[in-house]
């Protein structure tokens, strides 16, 4: 089995590989198998969202195996013997950092889901131009901007934490075979978790495709000026994710000089894109909920080993 995990990232979320003893131990084989599956997460689908779904599901399985590993008496005795070492503290800090970011991201997703549901309801009852609809659209833009700002901070934190860590350094040479294997898979798990989290918050912090002119939203964006978007004759948009498609649908819905027929078509188009983004949000929500449970259990198991009081 390969000794390092160093995926190539299409969006620049490169994670440094680590250099640790390569010999497997029977106790770490289940985690190594899950890590091998996750190594293909970026090529698992042509869709950015489906790749994230795959990554979150794989992480849940990975941390379930990690719970089992940390419950082994052999693992508990080995880590407890080194509980005052810096590299043990670093391993312990990783689940905490990921839990913080996961919690913030899950809250942002739930807020977005509620906001989108409210906008969907307003569109079903009203026509474009009604104050209720304009109020919901304005609230959506505000939430999009706040979510983008928060997730951009999380992205910077993830990159900084990984680059500033000592993941590339080897643990003490006096570790036995079992503990060396444990440290290696725990570090690789942290690296792939950071990579997938960077992809997730990168998706949520995608550019807001709209511009405000004369108090109306117009179908203009800097991304379009760069030629990234391809507008087809049937108004389909390529090379943008689900959040950006909602941005463009809302821009098209409220732009000036729309006829009655075009106005109705735009409302229908916006409803379609909003429903698609709800499916994405619910998928992310389910994936994060499952992962959250296993990260909590991993954190508790770690604390039970290194801290007799079991602080959380």
**Per-domain boundaries in the chain:** 28-212+240-306
pLDDT, mean of residues 216-235: 38
Residue burial 67-93, b: 16+ Cβ < 10 Å; e: rest: bebbeeeebbebbeebeeeebbebbbe
pLDDT at 262: 73
Where is average pLDDT lowest: 62-71, 148-157, 244-253, 303-312? 303-312
pLDDT, mean of residues 123-151: 85
Residue 129 has pLDDT above 80, yes or no: no
Residue 99 has pLDDT above 60, yes or no: yes
pLDDT, mean of residues 170-187: 76
**Tens digits of per-residue pLDDT, 231-280?**
333 344 557 899 999 999 998 887 755 556 677 888 889 999 999 999 99
Angstrom distance (rounded) from CA 221 to CA 146: 19
pLDDT at 306: 77
pLDDT, mean of residues 74-83: 84
The answer to whether 248 touches 237, Cβ cutoff 8 Å, is yes
Angstrom distance (rounded) from CA 232 to CA 31: 46
Predicted confidence band at 23 (pLDDT cuts at 50, 70, 90)? low
Residue 131 has pLDDT above 80, yes or no: no
Query: Which of the 8 DSSP states describes residue 129?
Result: T
**Tens digits of per-residue pLDDT, 159-176?**
887 665 554 455 555 667
Where is average pLDDT lowest: 6-10, 93-97, 179-183, 306-310? 6-10
CB-side neighbour CA atoms (13 Å) of 164: 7
Residue burial 212-243, b: 16+ Cβ < 10 Å; e: rest: eeeeebebebebbeeeebeeeeeeebeebbbb
Answer with the residue of higher pLDDT: 117 or 134.
117
Average pLDDT, the chain: 78
Predicted confidence band at 22 (pLDDT cuts at 50, 70, 90)? low
Where is average pLDDT lowest: 111-120, 136-145, 159-168? 159-168
Angstrom distance (rounded) from CA 221 to CA 306: 52
Predicted confidence band at 124 (pLDDT cuts at 50, 70, 90)? confident
Residue 220 has pLDDT above 50, yes or no: no
pLDDT, mean of residues 130-157: 90
Residue 87 has pLDDT above 50, yes or no: yes
Residue 2 has pLDDT above 70, yes or no: no
Question: pLDDT over 70 for what percent of the chain?
Answer: 73
The answer to whether 205 touches 151, Cβ cutoff 8 Å, is yes
Angstrom distance (rounded) from CA 161 to CA 205: 19
pLDDT at 176: 79
The answer to whether 99 touches 299, Cβ cutoff 8 Å, is yes
pTM higher than the cut 0.75: yes
What distances in angstroms separate CA 100 from CA 15, 105, 164, 295, 306, one per listed residue? Answer: 20, 9, 18, 11, 21
Angstrom distance (rounded) from CA 308 to CA 117: 46
């Amino acid at each position: 089995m390969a000794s390092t995990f160093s995926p190539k990232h299409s969006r620049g979320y490169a994670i440094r590989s680590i250099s640790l003893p390569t010999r497997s131990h029977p106790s770490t084989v289940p985690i190594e198998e899950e890590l091998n599956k996750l190594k293909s997460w970026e090529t698992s689908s042509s869709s950015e969202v489906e790749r994230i779904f795959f990554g979150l599901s794989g992480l849940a399985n990975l941390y379930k195996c990690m719970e089992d590993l940390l419950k082994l008496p052999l693992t508990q005795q080995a880590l407890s013997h080194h509980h005052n070492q810096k590299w043990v503290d670093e391993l312990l800090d990783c689940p905490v950092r990921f839990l913080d970011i996961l919690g913030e991201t899950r809250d942002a997703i739930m807020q977005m889901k509620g906001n989108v549901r409210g906008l969907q309801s307003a569109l079903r009852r009203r026509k474009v131009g009604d104050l209720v609809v304009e109020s919901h659209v304005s609230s959506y833009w505000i939430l999009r901007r706040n979510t983008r700002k928060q997730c951009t901070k999380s992205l910077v934190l993830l990159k900084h934490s990984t680059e500033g860590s000592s993941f590339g350094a080897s643990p003490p040479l006096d570790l036995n075979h079992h503990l060396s294997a444990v440290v290696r898979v725990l570090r690789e798990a942290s690296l792939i978790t950071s990579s997938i989290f960077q992809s997730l918050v990168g998706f949520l912090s995608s550019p807001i495709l709209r511009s405000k002119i004369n108090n109306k939203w117009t179908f203009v964006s800097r991304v379009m000026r760069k030629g990234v978007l391809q507008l087809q004759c049937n108004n389909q948009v390529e090379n943008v994710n689900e959040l950006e498609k909602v941005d463009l649908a809302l821009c098209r819905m409220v732009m000036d000089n729309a006829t009655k027929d075009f106005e109705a078509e735009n409302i229908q188009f916006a409803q379609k894109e909003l429903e698609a983004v709800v499916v994405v949000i619910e998928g992310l929500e389910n994936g994060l909920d499952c992962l959250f449970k296993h990260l909590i259990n991993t954190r508790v198991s770690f604390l039970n080993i290194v801290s007799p009081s079991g602080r959380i």
